[in-house]
Chain A
Amino acid sequence: MTERDLVQPPPPITGPRSCDLAEVLERVLDKGIVIAGDIKIDLLDIELLTIRLRLFVSSVDTARRAGIDWWETDPALSSRAARDALAQENAQLRERLHALESRMDPDERSAIGAAAAEKGGGA
């Protein structure tokens, strides 16, 4: 008598509203979703659905064709935004380097400059 589970009443065949919602969401959100983020759906205090919503299709291109491009500015979602972030960091580092260099004595600086010139980096 280990199969007590079989005695459990089967769930109603035509699901209640909650089931219905899960099915609607399943279809409405299936690969069609354009929104990124984590969405939790709780119904009747039960966690019904945990849908991890990431970009909806394989490429940002496809999504943009769908008319939406706001994620392009979000580094977590867009490689381009990530690149921009990188560029920004790069610029900040350059600035700091410049500031540090300007504090060195002239001999040292010219030595570094010569080394850089040797490597083919002008200026």
Chain B
Amino acid sequence: MTPPEPPALVYAFAVCRGGDLPGTALDALDALDVLAELPGLPELPGLPGPGTGAPVRTLAAGPLTAVVQDVPAAGFGEAALRQRLADRDELERCARAHHAVITAAAALAPTVPLPLATLYLDDGRVREALGERETSFLSALDRIAGRAEWGVKVYAPTGPPPAPQTASEAASETSSETASAVGPGSGRAYLDRVRTRQRNREQRHTLALRAAERVDAVVRGLAVAARRLRPHGVEVTGAHRTHVLNAAYLLDLGRERELHAALASLRRDETDVQIELSGPWAPYSFADGGIADGGTAP
């Protein structure tokens, strides 16, 4: 039932406004051509034929311009992609190549990043797809023009591991009132210790969450839009800290200094948490891949 696969697909990275990329003409194309030589999408091992390293090019579609690259269908079909993106190295390569092209485009003109592995059958399909979403792309471009995304992450240190703590805690609690009623080795003393530890942990977490809210409020004040992203799990943060705020902010270009100053002051005030800043990013979190047209998220 599946239609015969064409030998090449068109990988779409990003969408810009029509006048913008060709306006900067040769520089833009040169910059993007350089990217084709990055170890990334074009240089995939095990692909048949010499068809690697096709240049990243622009494709005009009405009032929009897509940043695209021809890729071999063999490496980007369902099975191939599934397999490759399940492989850590390949995923990293694809993500970095995708990101590199988007970053390069965003440096040249307001850019709506498209989802990873956005593939079309041919140029005509790209134009068609862009045409269908023209309005939302244009309004997304309006929204992000002259702005960049910044990421702010707030972490709370987690308590020390329970095992080494119990010995010292047991010793210190022998003089407490619980210990006078029951021996330090008793079940109730143990439960008390567990409860205290739990309470401390909760308290610390509450404090960290409040600190995160304050950080968010300050940075939000500088931004034109903000979005909460999903906090990372311990796999990413490491066991010694928990993620209490993962947010993205859309800031006007030129407000970096204010942002840095605000964060420096926040770091001085909020000593219970660690605050990390990343950016500037292409507006990944605020362009919606041109899919939604809902303006800025609250």
- Residues of chain A whose beta carbon lies under 8 Å from any beta carbon of chain B: 1-2, 4-6, 8, 10-11, 13, 15, 21-43, 46-50, 53, 56-57, 62, 65-68, 70-71, 73
Given the contacts A2-B200, A22-B232, A34 and B116 also touching, CB distance less than 8 Å: yes
Interface digits, B63-84 against A, CB 8 Å rule (1 contact, 0 not)?
A: 0000000000000011001100
Interface contact B117-A34, CB-CB below 8 Å: yes
Nearest-CB residue, chain B, relative to A25: B95
The answer, yes or no, to whether B265 is at the interface (CB within 8 Å) is: no
Counting chain B residues whose Cβ lies within 8 A of the other chain, the interface size class is 35 or more
Nearest-CB residue, chain A, relative to B78: A70
CB contact list, B1-37 vs A, under 8 A: 1-2, 12
Q: Which residues of B contact A40 (CB under 8 A)?
A: 86, 88
Q: Which residues of B contact A42 (CB under 8 A)?
A: 88
Given the contacts A32-B116, A32-B284, A37-B85, A24 and B95 also touching, CB distance less than 8 Å: yes
CA distance A32 to B284 in the complex (A): 9
State the main secondary structure of chain A at its contact with B: mixed
CB contact list, B48-105 vs A, under 8 A: 77-78, 81-82, 85-86, 88, 91-92, 95-96, 98-99
Interface contact B274-A10, CB-CB below 8 Å: yes
Other than A30-B284, A34-B117, A50-B233, give 19 A-B pairs with Cβ distance below 8 A: A1-B168, A11-B238, A21-B96, A22-B232, A22-B236, A23-B151, A25-B92, A26-B232, A27-B281, A27-B284, A28-B284, A33-B117, A39-B91, A41-B91, A49-B232, A62-B291, A66-B114, A67-B12, A67-B125
